[in-house]
Amino acid sequence: MKADFPRVTVGLITGWGATTALLHQTRPLRFRRLDRGGWPVSFDSLDANQAAFADVDGDGDLDVFLTDEHHPNHLWIQQPGLTFREETEAWHLGRENRVSEGAAFGDLNGDHRPDLVVCNWFYPDEVYLHESTNRFRSVALPLPHFAEARESNSVCLADVNHDGKLDLLICDRNGSSRLYLNTTTRPDSLAFQEGRGRWALNDPYPAYGAVVGDVDNDGWEDVFFTNVGPNRLYRGSPDGFTLVWEEGPPGYYSTGSALADLEGDGDLDLVVANKDTALQLFINPLRRSHWLDLRLEGVWSNREAIGARLQVWDSTRTRLLLTKEITATAGYYSQPPADIHLGLGLHRRVFLTVQFPSGIRRQEMAVADHRLVLSETGVLVGTGVRFGRRLVRLVHQAVFWRNSLRLVVIFLLLWLFYRLAQSRYGWGVRPLLLTWAVVAGLLYLVVGLLSHPTAEQVLKTILNGTTLAEGLLVVLLENDHRRRRRKREQRETLVRFSETMPDLHENRQLAERLVALTGKALHLQAAGLWIRTGQDFQRAACYPSDPPVPATLPARIPGSKQDTAPDILPFETVQVLRYQEEVVGLWGYTGSPERLWKLDREDRDLLKLLADTAALSIQNNRYLERVTAQERELAAQRVRRELLQTLEEKNRELTHLNQELKQTQAQLVQQEKMSALGQLVAGIAHEVNNPMGILHGNLEMARELLAAPEWTPDSRQELQAMIDDMRESSLRIRQLIRDLRDFSRLDQAEFVRTNPVAGLKSTLTLVRGEFKDRIRVHLQLEDVPEIECAPGQLNQVYLNLLLNASQAMQAGGDLWIRVWVDRDSIWLRFRDTGPGIAPQVMEHLFEPFVTTKPVGAGTGLGLSISYSIIRDHGGTLEARNWEEGAEFLIRLPLHTEQGDFHGRSNHLAGR
C-alpha cells in the first residue's frame, strides 16, 4: 500500500512477520525502511493483512490502521518527526483478537471525519463511528455481515446511487457478497439497508474482493468481482446494476484487482491477480463518452487529500451528477490510483466542488477529456505551509541539532578557506562567487535531505568531504602558486633563447630547439613547425614527437594581414613566418587546457617575437646553404661526366642481356616443357623481372642523380652502390638463362609404351649420392604393366620429388616409396619424415615459384613442372601431410585414348 506521511511517498508492505515493511522513497526508484525504531511494535510479531490510511486525529498527517490475522488490530497515530505511537485502545478500537482481513476508512455519516469498517473471519464485521478527535464508537448494524460471521474478505466504499453518501460493498468467501445502501440521516448515527432488486448485487460465488469504477464513462459506477470461480462485471445505471460479463467456466482463482487508465486514452483498464494463473490485463476498448482525470493536492491536509469529498455538477451548477470520497483502499489488498477518474457521460463541461479534510473548499470549472490538478491552496501558501510543517518535524528530532552543529562547522571551514584563498592566492571576484555558489548548493542539499533519517550520515559525508576537498584545494592552490612562479622563469628562458637563435645555422636544428623549448616552457598541448621548400611546406619539427599532423603541406598561406590560419593545421594558432614579404614557414601550436598554463597576452607576444626571430634566422641559413651549394656544384660537374660514360656502357650491356632473355623466353614458350603455357611463361617472367626491375630502377635513379643540380661526395658513393647492384642483377639474369637452356635439353618428350617405374630406380641411383647415409629409402614396388607415357618427363617428376624429400630431411630420416596397381590406375606414393608442409604453403604448393627454400636455393618451379607433366599424362599429383611428414601421391591411368595420346605427345614434345 502507498500513502503520503510527511508529504513524501511512503509505501507500507503488509505481510506476515518480517515481510511487513514501511518504505520511504528518497528519490526515484530508491527506498529506505522506516520501521526500524519508528514504530511502537516490531513488525516481526505481526501477521498483517491490509493497511488503511486516514488522518484520524486531524493534524494533516496520515495515520495507519493495520489488520492482523492472529493478533489484535493496530491503530498507529503519526507523531512529529515521522514516528508513530500505538493508540488502538485510546481510540476505543478494542484489543480483542480477530481474524481480520480487509479494512477501509470513509466518512459514512457526513460529519467530515473518517469512520472505519473492518472485515473479519469467524466474527461479524465491525463498523466504528468517529465521534471526536480521540474516540471511535462501535455501531451495531442490523445487517447480515454485521450480525453474523460471513468470512468477509474486503469492503469497498463508494456512492453508487448518487445520493451523496458512501455505500458499502462487502465481499465474502460464502458466496453472499452484499451491497448496503447508506440511508444515514443524522451525523451521530449510521443507517444502512440491503440493496433490493437491481441494487442487490448478490454475487453467488466466493469473492475475495471487488473494485468500483466508471468503466464506460457514463457517470455511474460499475463493479467488478474477483471470485473463486467466474469473475463478474456489473454495469451501473440510475436503475441499479446489470450483469454484463461473466468469465467462462470454471473461472480462475482470482483475488485482487485494480482499475486505472493504463493507456492514457481516457477509459479505465483492468488488472486481475490470480492464484492459479498469471496476472490478467484487460484493456478497455470502449473509448466512448466524456471523462475527466482529477488529481488533488493537499496542503493543510495530507498530500494525496485522502478523505476529501468531491461533488461534480453540470455546467449550469443546477444538477448534481455524482459524488466521490478519496479513499486509500479499493477492494482486496488493492489501492486506487492517485488520479481520480470521473465518467461524465455526454457532459463536455462540469463544475467541481472539493472539500478537503482540513475544511477548505475549492471550486473549479473543468473541460471534459482532460487531466486536471487541483491544489488545496495557492502556490505561495502551499510552499509556506509545507516548509513550516517540515521545520516542525525537524526541530522535534535530536538529529536535527546534531546536523545543525555539523552545518555550522561546514560554514566555518568554508569561511576559513575563503579567507586563505583571498589573502594568499589572490582570488578575484569570479572564484569567490563560485565559492559562494558551492556553499549555497551544499546548504540546499542539506536542507533537502534533513527530513530523511539518513540526513545525519549525509552531513557527516559532507563534513568529511568538505575537509578533504579544502585540503586538496589548498595543496592544488599552493602548487598553482609555485607553478606560476616557475612559468615566469620559463618565459625568461625563452627570451634568452631568442637572443641566441641567429647562431644556429642549421634550420632543422633551429626548428627542433624552438618547438621543444616553447612546448616544454609553456606546456603546449601540441606544436609543429613547417619550413617552405619550393612549392610545399616540409615539417621540420613537432611537439610531442609524433602528433597526428601531415609531413607536407601545400603552399596555401593566409592573407598578408592575417597571422593566424586555423584552417591550415589542426592547431589553436598558426603563425606565418615571414621575412619581409616572403613566407618562409608556418608555426602552429595549441595551448594547454589547464587553467594555469593557458596562453595569455604576454605569452602570445613572446611567441610572436620568437616567430619573427625564427623567420630571420631561417632566411639567413638559406642564403648560406645556397652559397655552399654553388661551390659543391662546380666540384661535382667533373665527376658527373665520368660517371655518365660508365652508365652508358652498363646500359648497352643491359640491353644485350635483355635481348638474350627475350630469346630464351620465346624458346621456353615454344617448347612448353613446364606447366601450362600461360602460367609457366608468367612464372619465368616474374622470376626474371625481379633483377630486371632492379637494373631499370637503378638506371633511372642514376640518371636522376646525374641530372640533379647539386653534386656531393655522397652522390658518388650512392652511384657506385647502384652500379654494384646492377652488376649483381645482370649476373643473376645470365645464370638464370643458362639454367633454362640446360633444362630445355632434357630427355625427349615422345610418348612410348614402356614401364613407368623403370626410370624410378635409375633416378634413385642418381640421387643416392645426395641421400648419402642421411636418408633411408624403403621400396615397395609391385609389378606394373607398360603404359603409354613420356619416360623422360616422368623421370623429371621423380627427380623433383626425391630432391624435395632430401631437402626436407636435412637432419636425416626415412623415405617410403610404394608402387601398386588399383583398378585402372598405377599409384606411386612418396612419404618422408620431414617437417611436413605448412598450411599456408599447401594452398599454393603447385603454383610456379612457390618455395620454402632460402633465397637463392631454388626457383620454386619443380613441383609446378611435375604437376603439369602428370596432368598431361592424364593423371593426378596430390600432396598432403601425414603423421610424421609429407606425402606425395601420383596416379597414372593404365589406358589412354588414341587421340589423347597424340595430343599429349605433341604437348610434351613442345615442353
Closest CA to 624 of 709, 507, 729, 703: 507
Amino acid 449: pLDDT:
59
**Whether residue 767 is found in the same domain as residue 711:** no
Amino acid 573: pLDDT:
86
Give every CB contact of residue 140 below 8 A, 6+ residues apart in sequence.
146
**Whether residue 808 is found in the same domain as residue 673:** no
Amino acid 140: pLDDT:
93
Amino acid 81: pLDDT:
66
For 168, other C-beta atoms within 10 Å of its C-beta total 26
Calculate the dihedral angle through the C-alpha atoms of 640, 645, 649, 655, rounding to the nearest 10 degrees. Answer: 70
Amino acid 301: pLDDT:
85
Amino acid 909: pLDDT:
47
Closest CA to 451 of 1, 56, 10: 10
**Whether residue 329 is found in the same domain as residue 437:** no
**Whether residue 763 is found in the same domain as residue 864:** yes
**Whether residue 687 is found in the same domain as residue 819:** no
**Whether residue 463 is found in the same domain as residue 334:** no
**Whether residue 441 is found in the same domain as residue 355:** no
**Whether residue 905 is found in the same domain as residue 756:** yes
**Whether residue 655 is found in the same domain as residue 783:** no
Alpha-carbon distance of 755 to 775, in angstroms, equals 26
Residue whose C-alpha cell reads 488502538 in the numeric block = 88
Domain boundary among 378, 407, 428: 378
What's the domain count of the chain? 6
Q: For 468-479, what is each residue's pLDDT tens digit?
A: 777 777 787 778
CATH code of the domain containing 300? 2.60.40.1120
Amino acid 668: pLDDT:
44
Q: State the cell numbers at 18.
A: 518480517
Burial class (CB in 10 A: 0-12, 13-18, 19+), 560: exposed
Q: Which residues of 272-297 are buried (b: 16+ CB within 10 A; e: fewer)?
A: bbbeeeeeeebebeeeebbbbbbebb
Closest CA to 886 of 802, 824, 825: 802
**Whether residue 539 is found in the same domain as residue 496:** yes
Give the residues of the chain that fall short of pLDDT 50: 5-8, 453, 559-566, 665-666, 668-684, 686, 738-747, 898-899, 901-902, 909-910
Amino acid 8: pLDDT:
44
The answer to whether position 165 is within a domain reads no
Q: Which amino acid is at 454?
A: T
* Per-residue H/E/C for 316-357: CCCCEEEEEECCCCCCCCCCCCCCEEEEEECCCEEEEEEECC
Amino acid 43: pLDDT:
61
Which residues span the domain enclosing 421?
Answer: 397-480
**Whether residue 658 is found in the same domain as residue 615:** no
**Whether residue 455 is found in the same domain as residue 513:** no
